[in-house]
Amino acid sequence: MKLTLMRDNSGTLTMRTLDITLQIEAMKHETKARPISNLRTSIRHASPDCKLEEAQKLTKVIPAANFRKTTNGTQMTAYNGIVQIEVNHLANRTEVNRVKQEAAELTQTLAAFMGSSGHSVKIWLRFTRPDKSLPKSREEAEIFQAHAYRKAVGLCQPALSYAIELKKPTLDQFCRQTYDPELYYNPDSTVIYMRQPLEMPSDTTYKETVQAENSPFKRLIPGYDSFDTLSALFEVALNKAYHSLSELHPNMHLHSDDDLKPLLVQLAENCFQSGIPEEETARWAIAHFYTQKKEFLIRQTVQNVYLNAKGFGKKSPLSAEQELELRTEEFMQRRYEFRYNTMTTVTEYRERNTFCFCFRPVTNRTRNSIAMNARLEGLNLWDRDVARYLDSDRIPVFNPIEDFLFGVDIRWDGRDRIRELASRVPCNNIHWPDLFYRWFLNMVAHWRHTDRNYANCTVPLLVGPQAYRKSTFCRNLLPTELQPYYTDRIDFSNKRDAELSLNRFALINMDEFDQNRESQQAFLKHIIQKPVVNTRRPHGVATQELRRYASFIGTSNHKDLLTDTSGSRRYIVIAVTGPIDCSPIDYEQLYAQAIHDIYKGERYWFNAEDEKVMTESNQEFQVIPIAEQLFHQYFRAAREDEEEYELLLAIEILEQVQHDSRIRVSNCNIIQFGRILQRNQVPSIHAKRGNVYKVVRIKPKRA
């Protein structure tokens, strides 16, 4: 059995496979440079969220499968059936050794070793099908791995003293190269048998045992640390003391030395009932009244009250409303993770401590479930309270496109992957790779809001027969994380929804582009070049200026699809000559190149030369209106040196060609026909009766 070792050497990804026995031996020893020991030393002095360079340099060990590097990224060559579970955030070596010992007592444990940080334990278990076979295809392996991971967690968690940190089970899940001379390895461990599942496991319901909290601080104000809790409780107790004495003695001057004694007594009583320890009460009181009373007198007063009072920590100083809000926030943050998606304008959630790794939209069913779970914990929370919380600034904002782009933090390896991606589309247009490169940069640049005055108003159109994978290619331009923001359905007849799509989607595929009616061309041109969206959201009150994210691409099975008589410089029409290669894409490197080139100042907009190339290439896809065809059949434009020509109005020319051909042109008015004459560079002069055109008749007039 072999594992995959992957390393990033200054932006160059290297991969190799190694026998598991050799890898286990390698983890028992450390090189002279001692990279892992140095990392563990650095961790002691680093902040918890700090990314250490020493860790990034360590080799990644992938136990689940064997991978190899290809031109399109990584490819799985074999599946091992090894599942890795992790126990993280351990305090010291004692806890690490305890977890390793507990894992070693399980006969199913293949290996258990300390992680590179020195504060975690990685546990490997082997799975196989009942016939001792393993999945061959990547899709089957991913499904098998997901189910095996759940079974591994259920098997190991009861035997471990510390919680397993749940992570999304993937085939490329890794751990860093580590050093553990006392690691546990059992090549004869019991293999766990499991039938091949047919689909990914469904999400499980959250189960949690609510235990009574002994600390009055966490019971009264859950989710706060001790300092913040004491501060909040003390201030509320002081506020109540002020109000109580003010009601009993309206004329009392609470800031005078003489009247401070009753205030201190009332304050100490409130603090006692709130469960604040005597020393903490005295310290906070001294901090408040140090200019008015001696420390000794304050401490003595507090001590006397605490000696005589009863019912320590039995009465909360918080009002019912305050306590409900604080407990609601603690419950929400402990049980769920929320985010407000700015593109879909929907609050999304996932349950903590479950196998729900993906965020899902909050629905009425979700709100009701949250309210019921809260009431099971003794929290008087109704669905309206849940809705109020979810529709507040307590929910952090999430932008999926920005999150993806900022997550592309790897270095570009220097290989031109954007033009390579364009070359997957077989065609005879030599300019296609460069034009696609420019369009792709334009799309990413506008995602980053680089240019706020203009939109990405250029549209690639892939034209070819069915089964050439044109739509699949368009969809594959976006990585998995952004697939929800791709659409191939947009109704241009519903103008409001079409404009909202500019903010809702990252890429819009105008599938079957030739199905758009000529009457929609004006709006289509408007929406393609619109840099911002000014509209009112559904159920909204005011008009908002929304940011545009969408770029456009299109497909068609027919070549006669450009009907705009004003020109075609907005389209890159490509005749696809064969099936498109839709093999996997290395999205990290693809988008890393785009970000790198934009950052370096590479031009992402189309200049006049590019537009000239596109216009010339689009000639064969231009639809020639019937009126224009009839004009060329009976007339031609007069040359400058010709003396014999006719001066005719546009309506006269149109009437004559209809009369001579006996064909009624119903879809062309005089204004449109005049534009056709101008586009064909027919010379004209302005006369008393209007603009007249210099034309020469080719065929004689029909009687």
CB-based burial label for 26 (10 Å; 0-12, 13-18, 19+):
middle
C-alpha 362 chain-centroid distance = 17
Rounded to an integer, what distance in angstroms lies between the CA atom of residue 249 and that of residue 518?
84
- Asked whether the beta carbons of 219 and 207 are under 8 A apart, the reply is no
Q: What is the amino acid identity at position 355?
A: F
DSSP state of 58: S
- What are the 10-residue block averages of pLDDT along the chain, 703 residues in total? 85 85 90 86 72 81 90 85 91 89 92 91 92 88 91 89 87 90 92 85 46 42 58 82 76 59 85 81 79 73 81 64 81 89 90 81 92 87 89 90 81 89 93 94 90 87 92 94 91 85 92 78 85 77 83 89 74 93 90 90 91 88 80 86 85 84 78 81 86 86 72
DSSP 294-355: -HHHHHHHHHHHHHH---TT-S-SS-HHHHHHHHHHHHHHHHEEEEEETTTTEEEEEETTSS
Please report, as a single letter, which amino acid is at residue 321. E
Upper half-sphere CA count for residue 598 (Cβ side, 13 Å): 25
Measured on CA atoms in the order 651, 655, 661, 667, is the torsion positive or negative? positive
| The pair of three-digit structure tokens given for residue 436, joined into one six-digit string | 């696609």
Q: Which among 367, 366, 348 is positioned nearest to 358, based on CA atoms?
A: 348
State the DSSP code for 701: P
List, in order, residues 6 or more apart from 630 with CB less than 8 Å away. 657, 658, 661, 663, 665
pLDDT at 324: 82
Q: At what angle do helices 670-679 and 650-661 cross, to 10 degrees?
A: 100
Q: Which residue has the tokens 């409130």?
A: 270
Amino acid identity at 336: Y
Other Cβ atoms closer than 10 A to 137: 10
Helix/strand/coil (H/E/C) assignment for every residue in 464-520: CCCCCCHHHHHHCCCCHHHHHHEECCCCCCCHHHHHHHHHHCCEEEECCHHHCCHHH
- The answer for 34, left when phi > 0, alpha when psi is -120 to 50, beta otherwise, is left
Q: Of 426, 460, 411, 462, which Cα lies nearest the Cα of 440?
A: 460
Contact 560, 620 (CB under 8 A): no
Orientation angle between helical segments 295-308 and 260-274, nearest 10 degrees: 50
Phi-psi region of 387 (alpha: psi -120 to 50; beta: other; left: phi over 0): alpha
* Domains of the chain, each with CATH number or no CATH: 2-193 (no CATH), 225-314 (no CATH), 321-398 (no CATH), 407-621 (3.40.50.300), 626-697 (no CATH)
User: SS3 of 620, please?
Assistant: helix
Specify whether the CB–CB gap between 362 and 410 falls below 8 A.
no
Structure token pair of residue 276? 């604040």
Tell the residue number behind the tokens 């019991």, with chain if given.
190
pLDDT at 689: 86
* CB 142, CB 171: distance < 8 Å: yes
How far apart CA 46 and CA 53 sit, in angstroms, is 11
**Cα separation values, 9 from 30, 413, 515, Å:** 19, 10, 50
Structure tokens at 700: 């004689």
- Structure tokens, 351: 């349950």
Beta carbons of 498 and 609 less than 8 angstroms apart: no
Is-contact 564 525, C-beta < 8 A? yes
- Give φ, ψ of 185 to 5 degrees: -145, 125
The pLDDT assigned to 420 comes to 94
Tokens of 413: 């390896």
Q: In whole angstroms, what is the distance from residue 61 CA to residue 111 CA?
A: 13
Q: Which residues are CB-neighbours of 354 under 8 A, at least 6 positions away?
A: 166, 203, 204, 205, 206
From the list 702, 678, 701, the residue with the least C-alpha distance to 693 is 678
pLDDT of residue 218: 46
Instruction: Note the pLDDT of residue 484.
Output: 92
Q: CA 420 to CA 517: how far, in whole Å?
A: 34
Picking from 236, 217, 213, 235, the residue whose alpha carbon sits closest to that of residue 225 is 217
Spell out the SS3 assignment of 415-478: CCHHHHHHHCCCCCCCCHHHHHHHHHHHHHHHHCCCCCCCCCCCEEEEECCCCCCHHHHHHCCC
CA dist 515 and 47 (Å) reads 58
CA 138 to chain CA mean position, Å? 24
Three-state DSSP class for residue 270: helix
For residue 288, the model assigns a pLDDT of 78
Cα end-to-end distance, the chain, whole Å: 91
pLDDT in tens, 123-168: 999 999 888 889 988 888 999 999 999 899 988 988 888 888 888 8
pLDDT value at residue 210? 34
Report the C-alpha gap between 681 and 630 in whole angstroms. Answer: 16
